[in-house]
Amino acid sequence: MNIEVLLTEAEIADEFAESLEARDLPEKFFYWQPASVKAWQEIERTSHESLVPTWAALAGRAADLVKGFAGRVPVISFGAGDGSKDRAILKSLLAAGREVKYFPVDASQNMLEMACAAAEDEDCDVLGIKADISSPMHLMLAADVSEAPRLFLMVGNTLGGFDPLDQIRHVAGCLHAGDILLVDGQIYEQETEYPTAQHENWVFSPLASVGITPEDGGMKFAETADDRWEGLYLLTRRFQTARDLSIRSMGRQIQIARGERIVMNFRFRFTREGFHSLLTRHARLKIVAEIPSADGRYVTAVCTK
Ligand SMILES: C[S@@+](CC[C@H](N)C(=O)[O-])C[C@H]1O[C@@H](n2cnc3c(N)ncnc32)[C@H](O)[C@@H]1O
Q: What amino acid occupies position 270?
A: F
Task: Tally Cβ neighbours within 10 Å of residue 266.
Answer: 17
Instruction: List every span in the chain annotated with CATH 3.40.50.150.
Output: 3-188+270-304
Of 186, 154, 198, which is closest to residue 36 (Cα–Cα)? 198
Does residue 54 line the site of ligand 1, with CB under 6 A? no
Does residue 161 line the site of ligand 1, with CB under 6 A? yes
Does residue 216 line the site of ligand 1, with CB under 6 A? no
Expressed in angstroms and rounded, the spacing between residue 33 Cα and the centre of ligand 1 is 13
Residue nearest (by alpha carbon) to ligand 1 atom 15: 28
Does residue 15 line the site of ligand 1, with CB under 6 A? no
Residue nearest (by alpha carbon) to ligand 1 atom 3: 156
- CATH fold, domain 3-188+270-304, is Rossmann fold (3.40.50)
pLDDT of residue 47: 66
Cis peptide before 195 (omega within 30 of 0): yes
Helix (H) or strand (E) holding 166: helix 164-174
Task: Give the position, in ligand 1's atom list, of the atom nearest the Cα of 138.
Answer: 20
Does residue 31 line the site of ligand 1, with CB under 6 A? yes
pLDDT of residue 59: 87
Residue nearest (by alpha carbon) to ligand 1 atom 26: 81
Does residue 106 line the site of ligand 1, with CB under 6 A? yes
pLDDT of residue 192: 61
Residue 128 CA to residue 148 CA, distance in Å, equals: 18
Q: Where are the beta strands (DSSP E) in 7-147?
A: 73-78, 100-106, 125-126, 128-130
pLDDT of residue 116: 98
Whether pTM exceeds 0.85: yes
Task: Tell me the pLDDT tens digit for each residue of 210-251.
Answer: 999 999 999 999 999 999 999 999 999 999 999 999 999 888
Expressed in angstroms and rounded, the spacing between residue 106 Cα and the centre of ligand 1 is 6
Segments of the chain with pLDDT less than 70: 47-48, 50, 191-194
Residue nearest (by alpha carbon) to ligand 1 atom 1: 158
Expressed in angstroms and rounded, the spacing between residue 41 Cα and the centre of ligand 1 is 12
pLDDT of residue 97: 95
pLDDT of residue 48: 66
